[in-house]
């Protein structure tokens, strides 16, 4: 497995100022003086004409992002989602706004929208732990809101992914095993189990799970990469963490 890749499945706006070159007059000639003065006035006019509209956008956008937080904390989830969406119109790669949107949709119990936005935040910034934790929270809340006696293989697989991303490897394995009880030939669940055992430095179990994933789905590239990772761990002779 490529260690830089996730084994299971922004531009920021700065106020940025322009500068005006101040002209020093060295001639006593009035014609030269007035000519230089006109140049300075024109330069200042261009400066303010260009700078004014670009300065207002980030201020408005910042207010929308802060507003989404205040509205969420006040329990106004619909308005919080709208404020986060307004921010994303001018800052489409803002992981903070995507995270705010995800938890706002969680408050509205719009599970698919909440999951999608949390996953997009993680895709843009894999190390964004807050979004990872929120994704796990969303999936758990979704599971509680449904029928606990009838989870789906897909929902359990999603839960195992969220647990993996949050570093909860034992929980990830349990969720994936639950998916296998419902769908014994679920190659993706075996892949998640293999990735967790590799993360726990138990290469023998990881290899067994990865091989089963490939038996069920021979063209499963992610499982093949995870198998290579597990075999490398085994070759290094690292002590297993059981």
Q: Which of 92, 98, 114, 83 is nearest to 10 (CA)?
A: 92
Domain-ending residue, one of 124, 150, 176: 150
State the Cα–Cα distance between residues 62 and 54, nearest whole angstrom: 13
Q: Does any domain span residue 2? A: no
Name the residue range of residue 81's domain. 56-150
Q: How far apart are CA 203 and CA 142, in angstroms?
A: 33
Residue 20: Cβ within 10 Å count: 13
Report the 10 Å Cβ neighbour count for 126: 14
Does one domain contain both 192 and 224? Answer: yes
Q: In a structure prediction context, what are the per-residue pLDDT tens digits for the chain, which is 242 residues long?
A: 344 445 554 333 333 333 322 222 222 334 434 344 333 333 333 323 333 333 334 434 458 999 999 999 989 999 999 999 999 999 999 999 999 999 999 998 888 889 889 989 998 998 899 999 999 999 888 878 874 446 788 888 888 888 888 888 998 999 899 999 999 999 999 999 999 999 999 999 999 999 999 999 999 999 999 999 999 998 875 444 43
Do residues 158 and 240 both lie within one domain?
A: yes
- As a whole number of angstroms, the distance between CA 178 and CA 190 comes to 11
pTM of the model: 0.49
Question: Is 141 in the same domain as 166?
Answer: no
Helix, strand or coil, per DSSP, at residue 112: helix
- Give the separation between CA 104 and CA 222, rounded to whole angstroms: 32
């Amino acid at each position: 497995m490529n260690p830089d890749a996730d084994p299971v499945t922004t531009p920021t706006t700065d106020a940025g100022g322009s500068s005006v070159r101040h002209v020093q007059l060295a001639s006593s000639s009035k014609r030269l003086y007035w000519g230089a003065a006109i140049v300075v006035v024109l330069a200042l006019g261009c400066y303010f004409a260009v700078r004014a509209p670009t300065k207002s956008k980030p201020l408005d956008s910042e207010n929308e992002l802060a507003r989404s937080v205040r509205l969420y904390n006040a329990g106004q989830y619909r308005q919080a989602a709208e404020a986060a969406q307004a921010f994303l119109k001018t800052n489409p790669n803002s992981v903070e706004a995507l995270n705010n949107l995800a938890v706002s949709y969680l408050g509205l119990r719009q599970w698919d929208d909440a999951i999608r936005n949390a996953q997009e935040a993680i895709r843009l910034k894999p190390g964004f732990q807050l979004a990872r934790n929120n994704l796990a929270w969303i999936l758990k809340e979704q599971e509680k809101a449904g029928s606990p006696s009838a989870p789906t293989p897909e929902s359990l697989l999603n839960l195992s992914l969220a647990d993996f991303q949050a570093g909860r490897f034992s929980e990830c394995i349990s969720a994936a095993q639950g998916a296998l009880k419902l769908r014994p030939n679920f190659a993706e669940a075996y892949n998640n189990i293999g990735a967790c055992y590799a993360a726990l430095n138990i290469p023998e179990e990881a290899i067994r799970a990865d091989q089963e994933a490939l038996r069920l789905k021979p063209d499963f590239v992610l499982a093949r990469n995870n198998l290579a990772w597990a075999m490398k761990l085994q070759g290094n002779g690292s002590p297993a963490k059981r």
